[in-house]
Copies of this chain bind each other. A is one copy, B any other.
Amino acid sequence: MANIRDLAKEAGVSVATVSRVLNGYPYVSEEKRKAVWEAAQKLQYVKNIQAVHLAKGRTAIVGVMLPYIHHPYFSAVIEGISKEALRYGYQLLLFQTNYEVERELEALERLRMKQMDGLIVCSHEVDWEAFAAYQEDGPIVLCEQVERYDFFTVYIDHYQAFVQALRYLIKKGHRRIGYCIGRMTGPNSQARAGAYQDVLREVGVLPRRQWVFDGCLFLEDGKRVMEQWIAMEERPSALLVTSDQVAAGIVLHARRIGVRIPDELAVIGFDNDPLAEMLGITTVALPHFTLGERAFRLLHHWLETGRVARKQEELPARLLVRDTA
């Protein structure tokens, strides 16, 4: 495999010059630059990386299905996936679906057409049955708990994470508890709704539909929640907020309009975003980055060896008590 010394020899320049040209530094003559690039092409300097994969009949591409990219949760998962993909020389083919079923099916079809070696599903709208139908076409790793099928999964136990935060609030004396969520459907959301009902029932409190705030994904949604909260006749005294970005929006808007946190409203976020740390927001730390890393590793191990130690891996969530609850 050609290395930087071979390039220098071929181009008739120093190793330092090759390095400067490859790294785009200025102050190298036109002539030397050209010589280096010609040498790189002649010696197929980069193609060799690919050759290893191609010899195995692989594309060295892994698909990633997710609803949208521009959200801290998904970008943290992608970054975890991407870090491991980089390490093993894989590229990522992104399927941003907006939770549209046809986009999700297209990803599965591309797996069938061998345009990628495997697929990681961060979140989806389509029925599990769909994934079952494509299981023979290549490894599919789901980032959520799946009860019925024998899928590859890496997941956070969102039921337990919610239970943990709810019990903490109850111990602190809260009974009027609401929560903010990204969307009502999906297995994670259903797990949370179940935890909410189960824990409130334990202490003899009725869950209230009007204290569940839907569509909460971004910072701006926190402002909206705060405005809805202030307008309520009967207000919850505590909120679980399934995204620290939204929790930050609540806390910042509360400061602006003079609502005292946690005295008037206790707030527990989820994720452990740097913004939550900076604002002193009590949060349930969720290992999104690790989730991405582990999902890739599971897939990669299967591709390399045809077997895995275990098909299901659960990652822990941890309550970090700070100032807001």
Q: Taking beta carbons and an 8 Å cutoff, which residues of A are in contact with B?
A: 21-24, 33-34, 37, 40-41, 45-47, 49-50, 59, 61, 68-70, 75-76, 78-79, 82, 85-86, 91-96, 98, 101-103, 105-106, 108-110, 113, 115, 124-130, 133, 185, 218-220, 223, 248-249, 252-253, 274-275, 278-279
Contacts and interface: CB of A to CB of B under 8 A. Distances in A.
A49 B86 contact: no
A223 B278 contact: yes
B69 A82 contact: yes
Contacts of A253: 278
A59 B114 CA distance: 12
Contacts of A50: 106, 109-110, 113
B82 A94 contact: yes
Nearest to A72: B70
Contact of A75 (B75, B95, B249): B75
Contacts of A252: 278-279
A34 B130 CA distance: 9
Contacts of A126: 22-24
A324 B194 CA distance: 44
A61 to B, nearest CB: 7
A111 B308 CA distance: 33
A92 B103 CA distance: 13
5 contacts: A33-B129, A61-B93, A86-B96, A93-B94, A275-B275
Contacts of A101: 22-24
Contacts of A218: 274
A106 B24 contact: no
Contact of A79 (B69, B108, B110, B220): B69
Contacts of A41: 133
Q: Which of A41, A127, A275 gathers most chain B CB within 10 Å?
A: A127
A185 B98 CA distance: 36
B93 A93 contact: yes
Nearest to A125: B24
Contact of A94 (B92, B108, B220): B92
